[in-house]
Chains A and B, each alone.
Chain A
Amino acid sequence: MKENIWTRPLYYVIAFLVASISLYPLFLMIMSSFKPSNEIFMNPLSLPKSFSLEPYRNLIEQVPFMTYFYNSVVVSVTAVLLILICGSLAAFYIARYTFWWNNALFFFFLMGMMIPIKLGIVPLFILMKDLGLTNSLWSLIFIYTATGIPLSILILTGFFRTMPVELEEAARIDGATDLRILWNVLLPLMRPALGTVMIINFIQAWNDFFFPLIFISNEMKKTIPVGMLSLFGEYSADWGALFAGLTLSSLPMMILFFIASKQFMEGLTAGAIK
């Protein structure tokens, strides 16, 4: 295609403009987290005069941030592990066997991707209460596992189906059980699919705010996102600490993203396109 000489420069102008709008607030957030509050109020846009760690000290004094952090790690990691276990077992069953109910089972799980589960929050809350799980990290672990299962089964089933059956036949003749075949033969070959499932669900669990808002009121059981709610509710005048809190909440995800940006972007879009 022939292009007008202005077309290319225009492309760059648009891309740069939007990229700066995307990045500037993040830059502002990180930069402000190194400025004491009065400096933010005086010069909100300037670079920090001296990189002060005072906002971070204030943050940790005001809220139990390390507890939030620990809770977030426990919840996200356990949920992701449970999703991988439940998801690969179910997907193996659906992809490798042809019982007459398998298609119905697959469809039943996939339906979950269309269900807006937030609308079932009242029965869910009462259920958690009856199970004695409110104010327990298990309420979050279970709900994230449950919401993660449908998409994981979809992705993993698709992947199981692409793998040649011959792989496991040798092991089967040697008398290996299904569990052993799954664990020793198939799963090691499925790292890309498992990685996608891990990334999608980890982001989901780490960033979710809605479920802990409903299930958790005990300060010591809060994850980072609801912890931010306490911070902003009670210490809204100390902007330095607020920016420090926002930065510290986002840092782990950003670090992971820089390590594996390609997998992140591919993983999340794979989830949507399938």
Chain B
Amino acid sequence: MNTAETQVKAVNKPAAKTKTKRKWKRWAIHLFPIPALIIYGLFIVYPILAAFTYSLFDWNGLVRGAFVGLENFKALFSLQPYKDLFWNAFQHNILYFVVQMIVQNGLAFVLAFIIYKKIKGAEFFKIAFFMPRLLSIIVVGFLWKLILNPNFGALNVILGKFGLENLQKAWLGDPDTALMAIILVNSWFGLGFAVLIFLAGIQSIPHELIEAATLDGAKGWKMMSKIIIPLMMPAITIITVLTFIQSFEAFELVYAMQGSQGEPYHSTDTLAIYFYRLAFGGTSGGGSSAIGLGSALAVVLFLFISVFTAILLYFMRKKEVEM
């Protein structure tokens, strides 16, 4: 009897062990997403949510003061100099977007089409257009600052060589040209990436479709507007949305080329630069409540970008479906 019992136990014991082991194994799978969740939650989700609450408080340096409701937002839009600075920067962001769409993306579309037409050296051209994208944006800014230097910069020297002295300018010192110069530099940086996206879009159009359209007599502009552009809508949507977000976040290039004041005379100020000044100081920030105001500006910008991106996506996706 006794021996039988021990025998049963001896058989049962390992079985029980594997059972708990298997249970643990099944439970362990839930550990898999935990590291990603912690890092992403702590450093992305929490700061964005916190920015919303920060905007509702008064701040003394980095110390949170009293709850003030929407006062920071009111100040941002009704008190001077905040009000003027906001609209001034906002206009610059809009210009940033529009010029990037026309120069960078318009040109990228043409170039993608040219590469698609199987010109010789297509691979070389792709690489050439893409190269600037490898640089850090701060390197891009500093490099062009040297090139655009009024006295020793390559651009004015080249203009001089071609006898175009009257076009020579202090490109970044003149409020009329500084912002445009920055936006064009940004286009120089982003062009190759847009070419690649457009090229992927145009190459995904089934060849039979274009042949069929050709047989039906479509060519030139008609081919472009009725066949190619509609079928490239997904690529156009991506580029438009990315350009929009990037234009309204524009910071690094302006900071590198014109500093945190958006020199000269705020003529290159953008919302992100203005936000940086409010949040981290800079002489024309706003006294002790700067973090409150800065957070309010961040919230406004956040909502503006999210809502507009959603609207853009909605309308452009709708176009994609119709085709």
* Per-position binary interface string of chain A over residues 1-38, scored 1 when its CB falls under 8 Å from any chain B CB and 0 otherwise: 11000001001101100110111011011000000000
Which of A40, A122, A153 has a CB less than 8 Å from the CB of B54? A122
Nearest Cβ in chain A — how far from B22, in angstroms? 9
Docked-complex contact A272 and B197, CB < 8 angstroms: yes
Which of A25, A178, A226 has a CB less than 8 Å from the CB of B29? A178
Given known A-B contacts A28-B147, A177-B28, A232-B142, A86 and B306 have beta carbons under 8 A apart: no
Docked-complex contact A214 and B32, CB < 8 angstroms: no
Which of A105, A117, A179 has a CB less than 8 Å from the CB of B33? A105
Which of B110, B146, B188, B214 has a CB less than 8 Å from the CB of A243? B146
In the complex, A26 Cα to B132 Cα: how many Å? 8
List chain A residues, Cβ under 8 A from B238: 272-273
Q: Give the segment of A54-62, A163-171, A190-198, A245-253 that binds chain B.
A: A245-253
Docked-complex contact A109 and B47, CB < 8 angstroms: no
In the complex, A2 Cα to B197 Cα: how many Å? 27
In the complex, A257 Cα to B192 Cα: how many Å? 14
Docked-complex contact B298 and A120, CB < 8 angstroms: yes
Docked-complex contact B42 and A146, CB < 8 angstroms: yes
Residue in A closest to B193 when the chains form the complex, CB atoms: A268
Within 8 A of A (CB), among B101-157: 107, 110-111, 114-115, 117, 119, 121, 124-139, 142-147, 152-154, 157
Docked-complex contact A120 and B119, CB < 8 angstroms: no
Which of B43, B124, B157 has a CB less than 8 Å from the CB of A143? B43
Docked-complex contact B142 and A242, CB < 8 angstroms: yes
List chain B residues, Cβ under 8 A from A232: 142, 145
List chain B residues, Cβ under 8 A from A121: 47, 279, 298
Within 8 A of A (CB), among B35-49: 35-37, 39-40, 42-48
Nearest Cβ in chain B — how far from A265, in angstroms? 6
Docked-complex contact A123 and B46, CB < 8 angstroms: yes
Within 8 A of B (CB), among A104-128: 105, 109, 112, 114-124, 126-127
List chain B residues, Cβ under 8 A from A257: 131, 134
In the complex, A19 Cα to B37 Cα: how many Å? 43
Is A210 in contact with chain B by the CB < 8 A criterion? yes
Q: Give the segment of B73-81, B166-174, B244-252 that binds chain A.
A: B244-252
In the complex, A243 Cα to B32 Cα: how many Å? 46
Docked-complex contact B40 and A149, CB < 8 angstroms: yes
Within 8 A of B (CB), among A219-253: 224-226, 228-229, 232, 239, 242-243, 246, 249-250, 253
Docked-complex contact A120 and B48, CB < 8 angstroms: yes
In the complex, A272 Cα to B256 Cα: how many Å? 26
Docked-complex contact B62 and A214, CB < 8 angstroms: no
Docked-complex contact A89 and B146, CB < 8 angstroms: no
Docked-complex contact A114 and B132, CB < 8 angstroms: no
Q: Is the interface of B mostly helix, strand, loop or mixed?
A: helix
Which of B48, B110, B130, B192 has a CB less than 8 Å from the CB of A117? B48
Is B178 in contact with chain A by the CB < 8 A criterion? no
Docked-complex contact A146 and B48, CB < 8 angstroms: no
Given known A-B contacts A149-B40, A178-B25, A25 and B294 have beta carbons under 8 A apart: no
Contact surface of B with A, Cβ cutoff 8 Å:
25, 28-30, 32-33, 35-37, 39-40, 42-48, 50-51, 54, 62, 107, 110-111, 114-115, 117, 119, 121, 124-139, 142-147, 152-154, 157-158, 161, 188, 191-193, 196-197, 200, 214, 219, 223, 235, 238, 242, 245, 249, 251-252, 255-256, 272, 275, 279-280, 291, 294-295, 298-299, 301-302, 305-306, 309
Given A11-B119, A18-B129, A146-B44, 10 new contacts (CB under 8 A): A1-B223, A29-B143, A90-B36, A126-B62, A178-B25, A207-B135, A209-B136, A209-B256, A239-B152, A273-B197
14 A-B contact pairs sorted by A residue (CB < 8 Å): A15-B111, A18-B107, A26-B132, A85-B35, A90-B37, A118-B249, A121-B279, A123-B46, A123-B50, A145-B43, A261-B127, A268-B133, A269-B197, A273-B197
The 9 A-B pairs at the shortest CB distance, nearest first, are namely A120-B47, A123-B50, A207-B136, A146-B43, A90-B36, A19-B128, A93-B32, A86-B36, A124-B47
